[in-house]
Amino acid sequence: MATYAFYKYQGAGNDFILIDNRNLLFDKDNVDLVHRLCDRRFGIGADGLMLLQPVDGYDFEMVYFNADGREGSMCGNGGRCIVAFARDLGIIGKTTDFLAVDGPHHAEIDDEERRVSLQMIDVDVIERDGAAYVLDTGSPHYVALVDGLASFPVVAEGKRIRFNGRYGAAGINVNFVEPEGPGYYVRTYERGVEDETLACGTGATAVAIAMAVHEGKSGSLVVPIRVAGGNLTIRFKKNGNHCTDVFLEGPAKFVFKGEITV
């Protein structure tokens, strides 16, 4: 048996278990353990679990696991939450540079509003799958425009696309989008969770970039994204299909902390 101290954070409804693993004692290779901790009925419950670890040359390392217990690709809202966690631990001030699975990330914190602005990777490759767009924003994403998104069968259609042969065993995250005012309404089926989540940061980023391509926009862009769990903002510079200075902005809030013995 082992006892772990944990913290719960959420970013626009994406919820995460965070563990301070600077002592490197957490058994991160134990897929069943991570899966049990993320289980909403038999564990703590979360969309994913993150370890904050030491690493040379950066303030910390983010190690992210999907709810299925397996180490995942980059999680944007998770990245914003671990930045807030590091701030609450006193590891960082209002800015940070940390390492994630897709490389270095810079982030800035607005303490008053508890908002985190996280720099994402540059995007150069935007492909098509029929009418949909396919791109990687730290995680691979499929972006499709639909009508009547509020009643759209996101789980059924998302699962069908996620598991189709084109994307192989690894699959892909699936985003459905509908224009809304100056921005977009987005619903996402996430691989690893294998369900719709209340938000997806890399997905919101992918949608903002894909829609800029779809509408032929260039220059410095600010794109509001509404998700079931709240609101996000994507800022980036676009020159052709080359997108740089990409920032994902939104809330990152502490929910509760505790201990669990497993």
Number of domains in the chain: 2
Amino acid, single-letter form, for residue 55? V
Summarised one tens digit per residue, pLDDT across range 146-160 is 999 999 999 999 999
Question: How is residue 154 written in tokens?
Answer: 């996101």
Could you tell me if 223 and 257 lie in one domain?
no
Domain that holds residue 204: 126-249
- Sign of the Cα torsion 116, 117, 122, 128 reads positive
Q: What is the mean pLDDT of residues 174-191?
A: 98
Could you tell me if 134 and 114 lie in one domain?
no
pLDDT at residue 174, as a whole number: 98
Could you tell me if 145 and 110 lie in one domain?
no
For the chain, what percent of residues have pLDDT higher than 70? Answer: 100
Summarised one tens digit per residue, pLDDT across range 27-73 is 999 999 999 999 999 999 999 999 999 999 999 999 999 999 999 99
Residue ranges in the chain assigned as alpha helix (H):
31-38, 76-89, 154-162, 201-214
Summarised one tens digit per residue, pLDDT across range 77-119 is 999 999 999 999 999 999 999 999 999 999 999 988 889 999 9
Residue pair 229/14 in contact (Cβ under 8 Å)? The answer is yes
Could you tell me if 25 and 48 lie in one domain?
yes
Q: Say how far apart CA 54 and CA 222 lie, in whole Å.
A: 34
Could you tell me if 61 and 102 lie in one domain?
yes
Active centre residues (catalytic): 75, 200
Could you tell me if 238 and 158 lie in one domain?
yes
